[in-house]
């Protein structure tokens, strides 16, 4: 007996939806497995011990913050290009810098260098609010859309000059900078709360850079030098030559 055309269309549609759902589930399982291997091999094995940080690194889908052509390498042990001459940091560096801040659930964080929005998402899993500034307007808008799509309502994105910080919401108990100035920006030190912590790479564009962890006290700023690193330079808006 010939099957009615309408019924055949319904059957084909149902089959297509089932097949699509199965493919999505398989891809999701593969990505979860990749994330777990990243956490175990790249983070735990290298000394990242904060369970809240490890849980955030496992939860946040790194591949969704990376351009489609690079997503196959999303969980690789390396930095990756995200367009506009910028990069998403190596997973270990993301975890190391996050752990160094010793975030508490009530913390409000200032991030300089939004990039893809991935680091902001990690911070948002661990802190109450994240204010993040990106010099490249196109990246800021893309990150804002991605973070909104991922459900983050506690991340506030601004396109602007990171050297100036976000004074309206200062002081901040925690500040993270994900691009390298040649010197620590004074405005960011001013906006760091007493008792607060800032982590940032410092060094010349083509020379040696290092991660520094700053702690502000009532008497001044204490600086701890940690890892040698290589970050993209922290830049100013075109036409503003007051900083590198």
Taking the CA atoms of the chain, what radius of gyration do you get in angstroms? 21
- The answer to whether 78 is a known catalytic residue is no
Nearest to 179, CA basis, from 126, 139, 146, 220: 139
Give the start-end residues of each E strand in the chain: 80-83, 86-88, 108-112, 129-134, 155-159, 172-177, 192-202, 209-217, 220-229
Question: Which tokens is 199 given?
Answer: 């982590």
Task: Calculate ∠ Cα 194-100-149, nearest 5°.
Answer: 100
DSSP annotation of 60 reads S
Question: Which tokens is 95 given?
Answer: 């975890």
Distance from C-alpha of 47 to C-alpha of 177, rounded to nearest angstrom: 22
Nearest to 132, CA basis, from 106, 94, 152, 160: 160
Question: Which tokens is 188 given?
Answer: 């960011």
Catalytic site residue from 28, 89, 226, 242? 89
Name the residues annotated as catalytic.
Answer: 89
């Amino acid at each position: 007996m010939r099957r009615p055309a309408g019924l055949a269309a319904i059957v084909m549609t149902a089959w297509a939806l089932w097949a699509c759902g199965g493919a999505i589930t398989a891809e999701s399982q593969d990505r979860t497995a990749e994330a777990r291997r990243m956490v175990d091999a790249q983070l735990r094995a290298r000394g990242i011990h904060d369970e809240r940080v490890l849980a955030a690194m496992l939860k946040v889908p790194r591949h969704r913050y990376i351009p489609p052509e690079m997503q196959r390498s999303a969980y690789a042990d390396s930095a990756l290009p995200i367009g506009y001459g910028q990069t998403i940091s190596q997973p270990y560096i993301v975890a190391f810098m996050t752990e160094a801040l010793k975030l508490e659930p009530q913390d409000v964080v200032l991030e300089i260098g939004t990039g893809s929005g991935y680091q902001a998402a990690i911070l948002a899993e661990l802190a109450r609010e994240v204010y993040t500034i990106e010099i490249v307007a196109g990246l800021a808008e893309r990150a804002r859309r991605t973070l909104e799509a991922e459900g983050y309502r506690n991340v506030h994105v601004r396109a602007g000059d990171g050297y100036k910080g976000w004074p309206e919401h200062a002081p901040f108990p925690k500040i993270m900078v994900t691009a390298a100035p040649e010197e620590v920006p004074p405005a960011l030190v001013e906006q760091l709360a007493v008792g607060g912590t800032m982590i940032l790479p410092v060094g010349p564009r083509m020379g040696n850079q290092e991660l520094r962890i700053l702690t502000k006290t009532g008497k001044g700023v204490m600086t701890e030098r940690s890892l040698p690193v290589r970050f993209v330079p922290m830049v100013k808006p075109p036409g503003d030559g007051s900083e590198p």
